[in-house]
Amino acid sequence: MLCPNTARPGRSIWDIVNRRTFESHVDALSHTNTVPEPSILARKDWPKQLKDGALDFGTVLQLSDDFAFIAACDYGVGYVTVATVQQAQDGEYFLRLAANEGVSDRVKSTLLELLQILKDCAIKELARKRCAEQSFDIIVDLNKNRIFGRLESRHFRRPVYDRGSSRNALTVRLKELLARAAVRTSIHKTQLATLSLEVDELHESFVRLENSRPEELIHAVKAVVKNTYQITVDGISLPRRFGEIGLSTADSREIREVNKIANYWRICLTLAHLSRSFRDLFGRLRLETLEPYMPLHEIGQRRYVHAEIQMIVYYETSSATDWPLVLGSSKEACYLCDSFIKAHGSFYVSKAHRQVFHQWTVPDLVAYNDATLHRFRTALSAVDRAVLKDLQDARHHRLFRQHPLQSSINLHKIVLPTPSLTTILSNTGTECGSVPTISIKTPELLDQLDGARSSSPASETGMESGRAVIESEAILPYSALSGLTTISVTPRSPQHVRLSSLNLQFCLDEQASTITTIYSSRAIVSWKTFKKQINAKEDTECQWFDIEDIPLGGEIILTAPVSKEGNLEFILAARSGDPIRVRCLWHKALHTNQ
């Protein structure tokens, strides 16, 4: 471990604000038990201009937070991890990790293996579906104890400081929440029934995990993670689903735990997609880890160098000139880290819980040049002023809030670019856009489609039997699937349409026309039947796709003219039963950089 105090007299970062004075102010604020309001980086506060050739800010923010999340593989402050993704001047890319007590060899070996998997996917030696699954295998193996803890599983190995929890298993608490919602509400019964069914399936997979033998654990915990992801829809939308049935979503521990567990599979899907979209990055991404600092010893007190500060000090003392903008973190930043980062002015963090941890310090090193000394002295002076202001407010107003949950995931959902956009555009010409992707999530879907459709006999006189319900965030009217279902799409405004067994998502990408994703849930569906079967000859303007021909996890590319306003029509057909006809209408004229 590195020494945190090597500065010579006259070259200290504490020359403006005395260190002991600063620490006494921080100690006093901590003793008031005040927790200042949290901070979230809003999209409007993202940097407006980036250097030529730099990765877009949203992608770097997502990647940095995701890598930090999977590297913080167990409980305890020592595992808190910060990650940066840096593009060097020579064209190389670096994934840099810092942890409060250092990055373990196990984390290093797992991340090196993960980067190789992503490189193989980037150069098309590995299919994206296989990339996601292989990444999932090693990420779950690395993080399994943390997942066990979030689930309140019997397999959880508690840290030495943890005396145990009186909480029920997470799946039991979710079932209790939904049971209370069922008593209180007489509306939203469809949404409640669907969510309850999915939570029941999650609970069943959890019970199987609890009964698993050691050699079955990884397979069982992966199933739980994927079922958890399913109830979030996309990794982050459980609060919306809870809100739809009248449940509070304000800082709910259950929602946070579900999102964190789902995040392990969401990250694998994201990395697999991004590895194809940013092939140069993932083909040349190298791992580096930072050595941590020893605690600074004082009389009866220790001060620690948090991972965020380690990373800032690294860039201040390195020869790198192209600093990354984002410090991705596995935990929301504390009050002092957040205040220092903002005062320093060179980096962003996505979230800060802003709880005051007074055992905090910044290394005072002989290696600092004049510019670094000035930045650090100025930043520490600004932090001290903020501490004194909050201390005064705490003494006069006595404002408190509950200590926050601190683990962090980035909920700025990015729209995944098409993995081979440049190839698609070159093949289709400048008059065509691209509409990726259609994929099937689980094999149960095909049996459901055939079984449900076969159970609806055709009539010689018209429509008969069954019904299909369309649910959407856009509040589309209920409609028969036989008609042409139209979805209006605008930039950064994805529309989700649930067709019971199918879930379609339509998004307008900044470069592509539309993204269409289809995946399955396990609801039962019945279809209306019609006297006259639609056939391809009568719908030559539409593109036809046989559901059974879509490979599991595969893609189908749809093309349509690019204009200020356009539409795409396609038909999903099965070997038996009636087709689903869909038209997607997009509006490019409404594009904004919001």
CA–CA gap between residue 311 and residue 96 (Å, rounded): 9
Angle 377-379-380 (CA atoms, 0-180°, nearest 5)? 65
In the prediction, which pLDDT does 581 show? Answer: 59
**DSSP letters along 232-250, please?**
HTTTT-HHHHHHHTT---T
pLDDT at 480 over 50: no
Beta strand extents in 419-564 (DSSP E only): 471-472, 485-489, 495-499, 502-507, 515-520, 543-546
Lowest mean pLDDT among 229-233, 445-449, 507-511: 445-449
pTM for the complete prediction? 0.70
Lowest mean pLDDT among 70-79, 192-201, 452-461: 452-461
Q: What is the mean pLDDT of residues 43-64?
A: 82
In the structure encoding, which two tokens stand for residue 594, read together?
Answer: 């919001």
The two counts, helices (H) then strands (E), for the chain are: 15, 16
* SS3 state of residue 585: strand
Confidence of residue 488 (pLDDT cuts 50, 70, 90): low
In terms of C-beta distances under 8 Å and separation of at least 24 residues, what long-range contacts does 188-191 make, across chains too? Answer: 188/244, 188/245, 188/246, 190/469, 190/471, 191/241, 191/244, 191/245, 191/471
**DSSP letters along 289-334, please?**
EPPPBPPEEETTEEEB--HHHHHHHHHHHSS--S--SB-EESB-B-
For helices 307-317 and 370-397, the axis angle rounded to 10 degrees is: 160
CA–CA gap between residue 281 and residue 274 (Å, rounded): 9
Q: What is the mean pLDDT of residues 254-270?
A: 93
Confidence of residue 419 (pLDDT cuts 50, 70, 90): very low
Identify whether the C-beta of residue 228 lies closer than 8 Å to the C-beta of residue 202. yes
More confident residue, 594 or 182: 182
Q: For residue 481, what is the DSSP state?
A: T
More confident residue, 499 or 150: 150
Q: Is the dihedral of CA 384, 385, 390, 394 positive or negative?
A: positive
More confident residue, 587 or 367: 367
Angle 241-242-245 (CA atoms, 0-180°, nearest 5)? 95
In the structure encoding, which two tokens stand for residue 121, read together?
Answer: 């996917």
Q: What is the mean pLDDT of residues 274-293?
A: 94
Q: What is the mean pLDDT of residues 110-114?
A: 98
The single-letter code of the amino acid at 452 is: A
Q: What is the mean pLDDT of residues 147-171?
A: 86
**DSSP letters along 379-408, please?**
HHHHHHHHHHHHHHHHHHH----PPPP-B-
CA–CA gap between residue 145 and residue 214 (Å, rounded): 13
Angle 100-320-351 (CA atoms, 0-180°, nearest 5)? 45
500 phi and psi angles, rounded to 5 deg: 60, -75
pLDDT at 183 over 70: yes
Lowest mean pLDDT among 1-15, 54-68, 172-186: 172-186
Q: For residue 550, what is the DSSP state?
A: S
Identify whether the C-beta of residue 328 lies closer than 8 Å to the C-beta of residue 67. yes
Helix (H) or strand (E) segment spanning residue 280? helix 279-283
* Residues forming a β-bridge with 364: 5
Share of the chain above pLDDT 90, in %: 46
In the prediction, which pLDDT does 177 show? Answer: 86
Cβ atoms within 10 Å, residue 220 = 20
Confidence of residue 262 (pLDDT cuts 50, 70, 90): very high
Identify whether the C-beta of residue 196 lies closer than 8 Å to the C-beta of residue 174. no
More confident residue, 269 or 489: 269
In the prediction, which pLDDT does 527 show? Answer: 29
More confident residue, 458 or 282: 282
Nearest CA among 382, 353, 309, 296 for reference residue 25: 382
Residue-wise pLDDT tens digits, 526-567: 223 323 344 443 444 455 555 555 444 444 455 544 444 555
Residue-wise pLDDT tens digits, 196-224: 899 999 999 999 999 999 999 999 999 99
Q: For residue 561, what is the DSSP state?
A: B
Lowest mean pLDDT among 318-332, 346-360, 394-408: 394-408
Q: What is the mean pLDDT of residues 276-281?
A: 90
CA–CA gap between residue 244 and residue 238 (Å, rounded): 10
CA–CA gap between residue 97 and residue 67 (Å, rounded): 9
Q: What is the CA radius of gyration of the chain?
A: 27
- CB-based contacts of 201, cutoff 8 Å, min separation 6: 227, 230, 522
In the prediction, which pLDDT does 469 show? Answer: 28
Q: For residue 85, what is the DSSP state?
A: E
